[in-house]
Homo-oligomer: A and B are copies of this chain.
């Protein structure tokens, strides 16, 4: 029996991007495996625990896609894409230590198996390997972009740390955090494509703008999903941010729009960490009352449109279409 897939859903698929980058991604995956190798067996064990745990590898796909979009003919995009994934993996390993997370991608976090020590150090090893790969590619401009991203990501994470439990965080402050901790790597991953293809500055800036706005949209949707998304269905990761007292946009909006009584609730749960049974449901109820989740998704849609518009500079192609669909996919996750 044929399954009828509605048009909109079809357009919001990652499959076009996966298909268009598949051949190169096979090479990236081989590179990733070879570069986690070490005589110190704990290193590939820890690295592969996370790397093989089924992430989508969206970021390296973006590097491959923007390189192709820019007509790149060389070999450097494979190493840069692997470097981008290593930077992301290093961030996740360190984040788990910072957030004291027990789980990651449905598996025990590496720190629960090998300890915080190994998570910190293997993250450092992967960062070192990432830079080695970039150096091998030999583009100083790509090195500049990705080393700047490394510093900006850490800066965004520290900013988040400083803003933790601060319910008076503004939407602008929240945006500054997610630009740093999430969107910067998307932006850098996309920018290096036209850079190694030696395309004009305007194309480099366009690819960067696509990545930056996609990254913001991606994180906004993630933050909404942590409260069940637009449908407010409770998924397996629902409530992680809530329990950690993270101030994300749904909280920022619900807090600002809430009554005095509601604000007292938010302070009790997020600042004092005094969470009791039913508090997550209460929080989602307040968010629903004030449209905090639907508006978070609306904001994501806004940045998603900016991402798509940024691509206008590039001639129409299957790869451009795949990148447009990837934006819709990231946003459609919230439904």
Tell me the complex Cα distance, A49–B90, Å: 25
Task: Contact check, B121 vs A98: say whether CB atoms are below 8 A apart.
Answer: yes
Q: Does A144 contact B (CB under 8 A)?
A: yes
Query: Once bound together, how far apart are the Cα atoms of A4 and B132, in whole Å?
Result: 51
Stretch at the interface among A153-161, A207-215, A293-301: A153-161
Chain B residues in 8 Å Cβ range of A149: 128
From B117, B143, B144, B154, A124 is in contact (CB under 8 Å) with: B154
Decide yes or no whether A282 CB sits under 8 A from chain B.
Answer: no
Would A40 and B158 count as touching, CB distance under 8 A?
yes
Q: Is A273 an interface residue (CB 8 A)?
A: no
Interface residues of A in 151-178 (CB under 8 A from B): 151-155, 157-159, 161-162
**CB of A103 closer than 8 Å to a CB of B:** no
Main secondary structure of the interface of A (DSSP, over half): helix
A 109-140 binary contact with B (CB < 8 Å = 1; else 0): 00000011110111011011101101110101
**Interface presence of A288 (CB below 8 A):** no
Task: Write the A253-293 contact mask toward B (1 if CB under 8 angstroms, else 0).
Answer: 00000000000000000000000000000000000000000
Give the copy number.
2
Of A38, A138, A154, A161, the most chain B CB neighbours within 10 A belong to A154
- A226 CB, min distance to chain B CBs, angstroms: 19
Q: Is A148 at the interface (CB under 8 A from chain B)?
A: yes
Q: How many A residues, CB 8 Å from partner? A: 44
CB distance from A160 to the nearest CB of B (A): 9
Within 8 Å CB of A116, what residues of B?
Answer: 97-98, 116
Find out whether the CB atom of A125 lies under 8 angstroms from the CB atom of B144: no
Name the B residues within 8 Å of A152 (CB-CB): 128
Q: Is A147 an interface residue, CB under 8 A from the partner?
A: yes
| A42→B97 CA distance, assembly (Å) | 18
Between A41, A98, A128, A129, the greatest number of chain B beta carbons within 10 A of the residue's beta carbon is seen for: A128
- Minimum CB distance partner of A147 in chain B: B131
**A121 is contacted by which of B40, B125, B148, B161 (Cβ under 8 Å)?**
B161
Q: Given A38-B155, A127-B150, A158-B40, does the pair A132, B118 have CB atoms closer than 8 Å?
A: no
A43 part of interface (Cβ distance < 8 Å): yes
Are the CB atoms of B155 and A125 closer together than 8 Å?
Answer: yes
How many whole Å from A114's CB to the nearest CB in chain B?
9
In the bound complex, CA of A97 to CA of B98 (Å): 11
Task: Give every chain B residue within 8 A of A136 (Cβ-Cβ).
Answer: 144
Q: How far is the CB of A110 from chain B (nearest CB, A)?
A: 12
